[in-house]
């Protein structure tokens, strides 16, 4: 998934697909997407290797997270910049709620202190 895909979803959420403000949104979107992607990558346990510099850049977080959660964070950021407190509150709450649904991959825990060795 690319930053452009997330950008288009966020614009649809705030109903600004054919807005005169779209040029301003387009200019700010890569930096905002980069910040939000870093936050979500931390939740996923993903290490990022590059920054988002343009809307053509591919995202490194999972497609599920990029499509399901990231647009709400971007829509909240746009709403905050537009001083639309109602939309900001709604999209920010949705972003935070969806962020809590991210599950990291399970890994095997090492028993470094042999605590569990006598529990057979």
Dist. CA 49–CA 53, nearest whole Å: 13
What's the pTM value of the predicted model, to 2 decimals?
0.82
Percent of the chain past pLDDT 90, that is, above it, reads: 72
Contact 88, 80 (CB under 8 A): yes
Task: Dump pLDDT digits (tens) for 46-93.
Answer: 899 999 999 999 999 999 999 999 999 999 999 998 899 999 999 999
Radius of gyration for the chain, computed over Cα atoms and rounded to the nearest angstrom: 18
Dist. CA 88–CA 106, nearest whole Å: 33
In eight-state DSSP terms, residue 42 is H
Query: pLDDT-based confidence at 36, cuts 50/70/90?
Result: very high
Give the torsion sign (CA, 107, 103, 67, 53).
negative
Average pLDDT over the chain reads: 90
Instruction: Please state, as a whole number, how many other Cβ atoms lie within 10 Å of the Cβ of residue 18.
Output: 7
| Coil, strand or helix at 83 | coil
Dist. CA 66–CA 79, nearest whole Å: 19
């Amino acid at each position: 998934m690319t930053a452009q895909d997330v950008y288009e979803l966020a614009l649809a959420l705030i109903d600004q697909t054919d807005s005169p403000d779209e040029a301003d949104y387009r200019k700010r979107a890569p930096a905002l997407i980069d910040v939000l992607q870093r936050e979500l990558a931390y939740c996923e346990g993903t290490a990022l290797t590059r920054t988002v510099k343009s809307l053509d850049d591919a995202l490194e977080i999972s497609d599920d997270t990029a499509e399901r959660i990231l647009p709400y964070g971007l829509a909240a950021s746009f709403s905050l910049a537009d001083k639309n407190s109602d939309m900001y509150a709604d999209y920010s709450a949705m972003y935070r709620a969806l962020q809590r649904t991210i599950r990291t991959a399970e890994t095997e825990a090492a028993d470094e202190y042999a605590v569990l060795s006598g529990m057979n």
